[in-house]
Amino acid sequence: MLMTAPGPGQRVPLDTIDLYDPRRFQEYPQHVAFATLREEAPVWSQEAPNGARFWSVTRYADVVRVLKDVRRYSSEHGTILAVTGGDSAGGRTINLMDRPRHTWVRVPTFRTMTTNILHQRVDRVRAHVRRIIEPCFDGGEHDFAQLMFDLPMAAVGEILGIPERYWPDIPRWTMAGVAPDDEEFTKGETADTLRQAHHDLFAMFSELIEARRAEPKDDLVSMLVHLDFGGQPMEDSQILLNCYSFVMGATTTTPHTASHMMLALMERPDVWQALRDAPNRVGAAIQESLRWSTPTNHLMRRTTTDVEIAGTRIGAGELVVAWVASANRDEKVFHDPYSFTLGRSPNPHIAFGTGPHYCVGGPAARVALTVLLEELLARFDRFEPAGDAVHLRSNFINGLTRLPVTALPASGRGPAAAVGGAVGGAAAVTAAVAAKEGTR
């Protein structure tokens, strides 16, 4: 999505707003539409191409309310606009479950993800990050967005239990699953692209599930295979769908936060230099990068009873779309929201969601982003744009598919140079934020 800020008082006619069409998010500044809706129509209805009506909620307070109130707003019908007709995996994966089943999966999963990434794997994440950015040390032009597609597996590949031989392929499979119409990932017809992406992912996880059933390891696949799911094991189809859900969540958001962060810093060399001068501010930079990019534009829910939001009555069984991207630019919550502000405090962004469905992979993503920024600041004088950024065609993921940059390495700070104190820094930042956010 283009990050262009609306001009002072700039608004668009309500009848020109379309929050479904993925092309709008690739080609137009949707933040102007969001600002208009927050001011003039904070609860606004539109029809999807299949005729299903959905209600868009754009103010921070209303978005938080919808995401936290899991009794009135259910996830089981589907959580993205692409499935307004209903998700076939509803009720069977962690992101499409309501309580109590959601709790049965979330509690052991969150414990596994957080403990492993904070206390055991930061050194390994750093080694993977150094490998990812190593091509930039030649001082030439590189596509930073393409490099960042490898970042999620650096953070969670081992935790999920995915062998490294699959790591290069997974980002393209998962992105094809969420943006099948984008030129970078399409394989012709939308249905064909989705079918191939699902086949590749399910085939890989089917193999892993059988292997972990025979020989468990310390990873998420093994945990799901042996999970106590309300007093009984999960069915194989549920294990498969949950593996799919976790890898989709991990790989379709983190790389785009990294790319948007790089773009924002290239456009603001003073902020880049401030971070090089004071590396202890990396944690604040990651928080602002998450708010700024908000890689998940929206989350959808279905009402279980009649509700009222901002004076608008919505009946039971209706679709409500909480626009996280809009909430994180709400002027009533964030001072100067269209500014990338390093010292923003407080910064109550909801880039990882909020409530019981707060992203279980948030701590892992934050570690990967923190380590990445630490390494970039320590090893490069600066990055400069080498061409235009290309935005993802998706109403769900706010991403970049191309970001040409020229990398200018710092003298004497090549791939083998040490970054002192960084391991503790990444873990400490993530632990502090996770303690505050992870219990929401």
Six-digit token pair at 352? 């990882």
pLDDT of the chain, 440 residues: tens digit per residue: 999 999 999 999 999 999 999 999 999 999 999 999 999 999 999 999 999 999 999 999 999 999 999 999 999 999 999 999 999 889 889 999 999 999 999 988 888 777 666 667 899 999 999 999 999 999 999 999 999 999 999 989 999 999 999 999 999 999 999 999 898 998 888 889 999 999 999 999 999 999 999 999 989 999 999 998 888 888 999 999 999 999 999 899 999 999 999 999 999 999 999 999 999 999 999 999 999 999 999 999 999 999 999 999 999 999 999 999 999 999 999 999 999 999 899 999 999 999 999 999 999 999 999 999 999 999 999 999 999 999 999 999 999 999 999 999 998 655 555 554 444 455 555 555 554 554 44
Distance of CA 26 to the CA centre of its chain: 17
Give the three-class secondary structure for 92: coil
Beta bridge partners of 409: 380
DSSP 133-178: HGGGGGSSEEEHHHHHTTHHHHHHHHHHT--GGGTTTHHHHHHHHH
Classify the phi-psi angles of 398: left when phi > 0, otherwise alpha if psi is within -120 to 50, otherwise beta. beta
Beta-carbon contacts of 15 under 8 Å, excluding residues fewer than 6 positions away, are none
Coil vs helix vs strand at 404: strand
Rounded Cα gap, residues 353 and 324, in angstroms? 8
pLDDT for 421 equals 44
Cβ-contact 154, 162 below 8 angstroms: no
CATH fold of 17-437 reads Cytochrome p450 (1.10.630)
How many angstroms separate the Cα of 132 from the Cα of each of 30, 168, 290, 376? 32, 11, 21, 11
pLDDT at 425: 57
Q: Which residue do the tokens 């309500």 mark? A: 14
Helix, strand or coil, per DSSP, at residue 256:
helix
Number of neighbours of residue 18 by Cβ within 10 angstroms: 14
Instruction: Please report where in the chains the tokens 């998420």 appear, as a residue.
Output: 220
Q: What are phi and psi of 140, to 5 degrees?
A: -95, -165
CA distances, 242 to each of 225, 248, 361 (Å): 10, 10, 13
Distance between CA atoms of residues 388 and 260, nearest Å: 13
Q: What per-residue confidence (pLDDT) applies to 217?
A: 92
DSSP type of residue 316: T
| 357 and 102 Cβ atoms separated by less than 8 Å | yes
The radius of gyration computed from the CA coordinates of the chain, to the nearest angstrom, equals 21
**Residue count of the chain:** 440
Please report the pLDDT score of residue 413 as a whole number.
58
- DSSP conformational letter for 84: T
- Nearest Cα residue to 261 out of 394, 409, 372: 372
In the 3-class helix/strand/coil scheme, how is 277-330 assigned residue by residue?
HCHHHHHHHHHHHHHHHCCECEEEEEECCCEEECCEEECCCCEEEEEHHHHCCC
Residue boundaries of the structural domains of the chain? 17-437
Task: Flag whether the pTM goes above 0.85.
Answer: yes
Q: Give the whole-angstrom CA distance, residue 17 versus residue 73.
A: 25
Residue 429 confidence (pLDDT)? 52
pLDDT tens profile 366-398: 999 999 999 999 999 999 999 999 999 999 999
pLDDT at residue 440, rounded to an integer: 43
Torsion of CA 132, 133, 138, 140, to 10 degrees: 110
By C-alpha distance, which of 64, 38, 129 is closest to 355?
Answer: 64
| CA atoms of 366 and 347, how far apart (whole Å) | 15
Q: Residue written as tokens 């570690």? A: 367
3-state secondary structure 342-393: CCCCCCCCCCCCCHHHCCCCHHHHHHHHHHHHHHHHHHEEEEEECCCCEECC
Specify the pLDDT at position 420: 47
Tokens of 69: 């109130």
| 18, two tokens | 């379309």
